[in-house]
C-alpha cells in the first residue's frame, strides 16, 4: 500500500515511521530542507516531548478535542512515547510538572532519532518538496508539488501542523487541503501566547513572579484562574499562567484580568502584615516599606495604581489608603485586549473539524485520507501535551493504515 505523508514535523515523521514499520511503502514530503524544524525549538531547545502522566490525567491538560483524543491517547499514551524514544537509544528524564526531556537536554537528539527511524524503516523522505495541492483521481490520491510533479498514493496523510511560528514551515497549508476535500475548518487562532493588556505596563518589562494567581473574567460570566509563574513581557503578560489562560481567552476579545500578587495571604493577613511593617518603620517612605512585599519596579507600579504617593511617610498613610494598597496587591486588574499573534504562539487552536474525523484520524468524507497532529482542532496546555497529541494521533492513523493493509492482504 502506497502512503504519502505531507509534512515532516513530529506527527508526520511518526506516522511515516509507524506505517512503514507495518509494511507500507511510505513517501514523506517536507517543504523545508530538513525534517523537524519546529521540533528543534521546542521546550526552549530541549524538547519537552510528553507529559509523564496516565491517560486520564493527561487528557485533563487538553483544551480542545479531549473526547476525540481519548481513544488515541489511551492506545498510545505518554508511556508509549517514552518507550519509543528509549528504544531508539535516547535516554529521557522527567522533570518538575511531569515534563519529559531527552537527558542530553538537546531537541536535536529527538530529531536524530526520528530521522534514523525513518531511514531504518525505509521511508522515502523527499525534502524541499512543497505540496501545492492535493486531489483524488479515480484510483489514487495525488499530491502536486511546487515543481509540478505529482506523487500518487493509496493513502494520504496530512500532517502540515498549524499556523504558529510560520517561519518553521507551519503556514496552515493543511486547512486548504482539508477544504478541497469538503472538510470544515474551525477558525485557527493563536494559543499559548502573551496576553496583551490595555494598561501601560512597559515599566514592568522583564519582571518575573513566582507563586501568583492570575484570573480572567469573561463577559459571559465565565472565569478561569491559574496559580504559578508569570512574566511581564513588553505590553503583555507571559509565563506559564498567562500562556495557559491564553488557551481559554483566544476566542474572546474582551476580558478582565486580575493578578493576586500574594495568593497565600488573605486580605486580613496582608493588612496585618502591612500594619506590622508600618509600625516598625513609622518615619520611613511608603515605597521603602512596601519594597519588602514586591520587586522594586512592581512596588512603584502598585503604589501608583493604588493612588498612593511613593514618598509619603508611612505614619501619614490613612486606613482607607492602606485598604487600597491591600486591594491592589490582591487584585491588580488589567484589561485584556487580545492574544499575541501566530508568530509567537506556541500552538494553533482550531483546525480540521473533529466531528468529520474518526477516532483513528481518518476522514469521514474521503476514504483513505487522514489528518494528524496540530492541523486538527485539538490542542492542549504547555508541558509536553501538544507533542504527545502529535504522537498519539500519528499512532492512531498508522494503526488504521496497518489494519487496512491486513484487510487487503486477506482479500488478495
Ligand X SMILES: Cc1cc2nc3c(=O)[nH]c(=O)nc-3n(C[C@H](O)[C@H](O)[C@H](O)COP(=O)(O)OP(=O)(O)OC[C@H]3O[C@@H](n4cnc5c(N)ncnc54)[C@H](O)[C@@H]3O)c2cc1C
- Smallest gap from residue 348 Cβ to ligand X (A): 8
By beta-carbon proximity to ligand X, the closer residue of 86 and 343 is 343
- Using CB under 6 A, pick the residue from 65, 77, 78, 169 that binds ligand X: 169
Taking the C-alpha atoms of residue 6 and residue 96, their distance in angstroms, rounded to an integer, is 35
Report the C-alpha gap between 145 and 154 in whole angstroms: 17
Query: Closest distance between ligand X and the C-beta of residue 260, in Å?
Result: 28
Interface with ligand X, residue 170, by CB under 6 A? yes
Q: Tell me if 7 contacts ligand X by CB under 6 A.
A: yes
When binding is defined by CB under 6 A, the residue of 4, 27, 48, 290 that contacts ligand X is 48
Residue of the chain from 52, 109, 140, 374 that contacts ligand X (CB under 6 A) = 374
**Distance in angstroms (rounded) separating the CA atoms of residues 159 and 280:** 64
User: Residue-wise over 329-366: b if at least 16 C-beta within 10 A, else e?
Assistant: bbebebebebbbebebbbbbbbbbbbebbebbbbbeeb
Q: Is 30 in the site for ligand X (CB under 6 A)?
A: yes
Q: How far is the CB of 161 from ligand X (least distance, A)?
A: 2
**Does 10 contact ligand X by CB under 6 A?**
yes
Residue indicated by cell numbers 501566547: 193
Stretch that binds ligand X, among 35-43, 115-123, 249-257, 404-412 (CB under 6 A): 35-43
- Contact flag: residue 363 with ligand X (CB under 6 A): no
Give the residue, chosen from 4, 27, 42, 250, that forms a contact with ligand X under the rule CB under 6 A.
Answer: 42
Task: By CB under 6 A, tell whether 12 contacts ligand X.
Answer: yes
Q: Which residue among 387, 396, 401, 405 contacts ligand X (CB under 6 A)?
A: 387
Q: How far is the CB of 389 from ligand X (least distance, A)?
A: 7
* Residue 231 φ/ψ, nearest 5 degrees: -135, 135
226 near ligand X, judged by CB under 6 A? no
Q: What is the 3-state secondary structure (H, E, C) of 123-182?
A: CEEECCCCEEEEEECCCCEEEEECCCCEEEECEEEECCCCCCCHHHCCCCHHHHHHHHCC
User: Edge-to-edge, what's the strand order for the sheet holding 124-126?
Assistant: 124-126, 25-29, 2-6, 155-158, 369-371
Name residues contacting ligand X, limited to 61-80 (CB under 6 A): none
Nearer to ligand X, 173 or 377 (CB): 173
Contact 212, 293 (CB under 8 A): no
Rounded Cα distance, 400 and 395, in Å: 9
> Do 329 and 263 form a contact (C-beta atoms < 8 A)?
no
> Residue numbers of the site for ligand X (CB under 6 A)?
6-12, 29-32, 37-39, 41-43, 47-48, 130-131, 159-161, 164-165, 169-170, 173, 346-347, 373-374, 384-387, 390
Amino acid at each position: 500500500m502506497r502512503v504519502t505523508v505531507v509534512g515532516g514535523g513530529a506527527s508526520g515523521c511518526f506516522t511515516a515511521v509507524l506505517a512503514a514499520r507495518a509494511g507500507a511503502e511510505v513517501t514523506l514530503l517536507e517543504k523545508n530542507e530538513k525534517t523537524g524544524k519546529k521540533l528543534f525549538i521546542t521546550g526552549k531547545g530541549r524538547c519537552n516531548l510528553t507529559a509523564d502522566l496516565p491517560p486520564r490525567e493527561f487528557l485533563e491538560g487538553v483544551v480542545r478535542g479531549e473526547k476525540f483524543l481519548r481513544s488515541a491517547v489511551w492506545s498510545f499514551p505518554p508511556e508509549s512515547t517514552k518507550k519509543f524514544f528509549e528504544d531508539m537509544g535516547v535516554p529521557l528524564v522527567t522533570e518538575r510538572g511531569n515534563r519529559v526531556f531527552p537527558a542530553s537536554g538537546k531537541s536535536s537528539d529527538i530529531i536524530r532519532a526520528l530521522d534514523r527511524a525513518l531511514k531504518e524503516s525505509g521511508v522515502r523522505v523527499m525534502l524541499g518538496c512543497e505540496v501545492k495541492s492535493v486531489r483524488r483521481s479515480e484510483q489514487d490520491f495525488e499530491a502536486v508539488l511546487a515543481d509540478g510533479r505529482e506523487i500518487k498514493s493509496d493513502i494520504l496523510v496530512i500532517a502540515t501542523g498549524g499556523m504558529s511560528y510560520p517561519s518553521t514551515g507551519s503556514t496552515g497549508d493543511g486547512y486548504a487541503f482539508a477544504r478541497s476535500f469538503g472538510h470544515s475548518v474551525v477558525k485557527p487562532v493563536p494559543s499559548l501566547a502573551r496576553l496583551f493588556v490595555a494598561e501601560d505596563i512597559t515599566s514592568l518589562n522583564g519582571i518575573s513572579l513566582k507563586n501568583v494567581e492570575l484570573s480572567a473574567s469573561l463577559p459571559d460570566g465565565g472565569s478561569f484562574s491559574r496559580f504559578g509563574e508569570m512574566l511581564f513581557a513588553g505590553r503583555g503578560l507571559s509565563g506559564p499562567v498567562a500562556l495557559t489562560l491564553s488557551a481559554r481567552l483566544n476566542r474572546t476579545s474582551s476580558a478582565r484580568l486580575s493578578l493576586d500578587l500574594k495568593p497565600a495571604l488573605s486580605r486580613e493577613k496582608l493588612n496585618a502584615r502591612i500594619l506590622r511593617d508600618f509600625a516598625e518603620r513609622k518615619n520611613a517612605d511608603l515605597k521603602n516599606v512596601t519594597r519588602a512585599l514586591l520587586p522594586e519596579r512592581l512596588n512603584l507600579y502598585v503604589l501608583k495604581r493604588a493612588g498612593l504617593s511613593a514618598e509619603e511617610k508611612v505614619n501619614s498613610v490613612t486606613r482607607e489608603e492602606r485598604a487600597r494598597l491591600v486591594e491592589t496587591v490582591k487584585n491588580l486588574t488589567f484589561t485584556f485586549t487580545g492574544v499575541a499573534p501566530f508568530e509567537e504562539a506556541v500552538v494553533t487552536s482550531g483546525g480540521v473539524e473533529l466531528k468529520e474525523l474518526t477516532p483513528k484520524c481518518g476522514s469521514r468524507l474521503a476514504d483513505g485520507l487522514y489528518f494528524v497532529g496540530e492541523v486538527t482542532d485539538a490542542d492542549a496546555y504547555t508541558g509536553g501535551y501538544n507533542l504527545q497529541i502529535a504522537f498519539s494521533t500519528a499512532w492512531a492513523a498508522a494503526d488504521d493504515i496497518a489494519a487496512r493493509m491486513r484487510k487487503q492482504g486477506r482479500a488478495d
